[in-house]
Amino acid sequence: MTLENASTAARSTPTMHDYLREEAAIEPDPVATGPVTKETQIIAIYGKGGIGKSFTLANLSYMMAQQGKKVLLIGCDPKSDTTSLLFGGRACPTIIDTSSKKKLAGDEVSIGDVCFKRDGVFAMELGGPEVGRGCGGRGIIHGFETLEKLGFHDWDFDYVLLDFLGDVVCGGFGLPIARDMCQKVIVVGSNDLQSLYVANNVCSAVEYFCKLGGNVGVAGMVINKDDGTGEAQAFAEAVGIPVLAAIPAHEDIRRKSANYQIVGTPGGEWGPLFEELAENVATAPPLHPSTLSQEDLLGLFKSEDVGRDVVLEPATIADMCDAATLDKPSLEVIYDTV
């Protein structure tokens, strides 16, 4: 090939700039002017362990399904008990355990291995590491990575409800807030200091990530086991979020929940309560709450209930050591001044 032919061939070979010009010349699609299509609401529910998140979510998701909504419930608590009430006490195979077993066998995880359904509710458990053998938050991250491989972002649901432990100081449990994986958060609490402390931490996490440009807000609070003393209601008012529902501390609810029975059924005694909760969860906008100091939290309760009148007494070195230790001669050399 002569130099002239080589030069001509080089000019005829498309370069990266040519590709970029061609791409830039393509007219963009016209702006959509039709009605807004359905968008999945992804809602993360947070609360102290044992406060009743799983009870609330099982009944809420069941009621939503009976109202014709397509609902996916994902348990993100290492205890893997979110779906136990929904499935009558039966344990649901977790994504983490199933993924490990499939990997050892050289197989891929499929939807049918980890997702199960009852009366229109789809449910799964992320799971967690064995006791003392790993980080629960890291397990959550691994679980969501598996969900993405299964096509999570292409699934077609009206609502995806995520059940998270309220320990948002852990990066894994704070994942939906930190990475904008949900549109809004709901906190479950009761009229006790510890559950409101956790709810306050969740509000603090939302506030922090909003300052960094995050978009997640708090839609409100569900008061569970409400005995009417009013501390949870006062907390919600103080931080600026609504109460979406107050589930009473009623023996019928306690007994049926302990027997793995759904109480949020249309036409049932507690049906209207969960119908209202479903409506409020669907329509409540994400808000940017304020947070309370520890003293302000204590102020929601009577002093005799929380020991608020206790005075902090500073300790001294004499309190920390015995007399013989304090009487040891010093090796320090002290020079007289003239």
Rounded to whole angstroms, the Cα distance separating 110 from 76 reads 19
Contact of 140 with 76, CB cutoff 8 Å = yes
Rounded to whole angstroms, the Cα distance separating 300 from 317 reads 36
User: 14-40, pLDDT tens digit by residue?
Assistant: 665 564 456 455 544 443 334 334 489
Q: Where are the alpha helices (DSSP H) in 161-230?
A: 175-178, 193-211
Residue 285 pLDDT > 60, yes or no? yes
Residue 65 pLDDT > 60, yes or no? yes
Query: Which residues have CB under 8 Å from 326's CB, separation 6+?
Result: 317, 318
Whole-number Cα distances in Å, 112 to 69, 88, 108: 21, 19, 11
The pLDDT value given to residue 29: 40
> In percent, how much of the chain has pLDDT > 70?
78
Q: Calculate the average pLDDT of the chain.
A: 83
Q: How does 126-159 read in b/e, with b if 16+ C-beta sit within 10 Å?
A: bbbbeeeeeebbebbebbbebbeebebeeeeebb
Give the closest residue to 178 by CA, choosing from 186, 187, 169.
169
Comparison of pLDDT for 177 and 272, the residue scoring more: 272
Contact of 132 with 43, CB cutoff 8 Å = no
The pLDDT value given to residue 149: 87
User: 166-180, pLDDT tens digit by residue?
Assistant: 666 666 677 788 888
Compute the C-alpha angle 179/144/141, nearest 5°: 70
Catalytic residue (one of 79, 113, 296, 305): 79
Q: Which two tokens stand for residue 161?
A: 């409800």
pLDDT band at 307 (very low <50, low <70, confident <90, very high): low
Q: Which two tokens stand for residue 213?
A: 């440009």
Query: Is 211 noted as a catalytic residue in this protein?
Result: no
Catalytic residue (one of 53, 184, 225, 256): 53
Q: At what angle do helices 193-211 and 231-239 cross, to 10 degrees?
A: 10
Give mean pLDDT, residues 296-320.
Answer: 80
Give CA torsion, residues 78, 150, 286, 296, to 10 deg.
20
Residue ranges covered by each domain of the chain: 41-298
How far is C-alpha 336 from the geometric centre of its chain's CA atoms?
67
One of 3.40.50.1980, 3.40.50.720, 3.40.50.300, 3.90.1150.10 is the CATH number of 41-298, namely: 3.40.50.300
Catalytic residue (one of 81, 113, 167, 296): 167
Query: Is 69 noted as a catalytic residue in this protein?
Result: no
The pLDDT value given to residue 34: 40
Rounded to whole angstroms, the Cα distance separating 23 from 7 reads 26
Q: Where are the alpha helices (DSSP H) in the chain?
A: 3-12, 16-25, 53-66, 95-105, 111-114, 136-149, 175-178, 193-211, 231-239, 251-258, 271-283, 294-298, 303-306, 317-320, 323-326
Query: Is 322 noted as a catalytic residue in this protein?
Result: no
The pLDDT value given to residue 128: 65
Query: Is 103 noted as a catalytic residue in this protein?
Result: no
Contact of 56 with 188, CB cutoff 8 Å = yes
User: 248-262, pLDDT tens digit by residue?
Assistant: 999 999 999 999 999
User: 68-124, pLDDT tens digit by residue?
Assistant: 999 999 988 777 788 999 999 988 898 888 888 888 888 988 999 999 999 999 999
pTM, two decimals, is 0.79
